Structure 1
């Protein structure tokens, strides 16, 4: 039995609903890769939040529940002209980092912000494809961190 197929492994994915057609590709890529690594799709629970700024608080609540081995936050933050998207991305990532340091639950990020994004089909298609890759990378990172934590547990036992 691998660490990924252990019955106590539960993964939470917190996904922002802005640009859902793009963000959902990350979730699909994560689950496909997770299962190919030996994990179970049923162990991945998805939580929706309105936007990226809501991810850290939701991740904190999930981490404090004690139900999840790791949490993935995913969002697509673009310059909407109201406030700086780089500020939003930095705030979200800082919050996610604080959650994992405060709760000892790994919080992975697939929160991406492009330098330039326009609502045109070629860029939308590019980022849809890119988010599949980011989901796969997040699943790989999740498996690696859970494996590393399992080894630490054995060393500290």
Structure 2
């Protein structure tokens, strides 16, 4: 049996991050935590590319364009969708989540989806640290796993 163990060494990895600015206080805090965790795991700051977009619905398009370059080992989606008084929350949460997943599958690239979907600001703030750090870990671990399975990118 050949078991591939988790590899959290980010050395040599290139990570792209797309942050939705609509809930900028949450997204900016998540971005800071995620990039710090990536660097803690060995990803060099110069190998982290950050793009910001207006909101969660714009995230997948930029992820798709980053993925199309072939320059990244993994991508991260960051932001927050906080329920309001209308159906718009469901629309944005569902469409954004499905599109992020589709980009990863279409381009065979790991995407850590750290777009929070919460009922209120308090829930979003309570999840910032854990979700942002988890996104960095997922990106590095899955990039290494895919690179092991299909061979390292140049």
Aligned residues: 144
- Kept after mapping to 2: 8 A contact 1:69/1:105: yes
How does the TM-score come out when normalised to structure 2?
0.84
- Kept after mapping to 1: 8 A contact 2:80/2:124: no
Alignment partner for residue 61 of structure 2, among 57, 63, 79? 57
User: What is the correspondence of 1:1-157 to structure 2 with a 5 Å cutoff?
Assistant: 4-6=10-12, 9-115=13-119, 117=120, 123=122, 127-128=124-125, 130-153=127-150
Unaligned runs of 5+ in 2: 1-7
CA distance in 2, matches of 1:135, 1:29: 6
Deviation at 1:3, TM superposition (A): 5.4
Alpha-carbon RMSD: 1.8
CA distance in 2, matches of 1:143, 1:130: 20
Question: Residue 58 of structure 2: SS of its match in structure 1?
Answer: helix
Unaligned runs of 5+ in 1: none
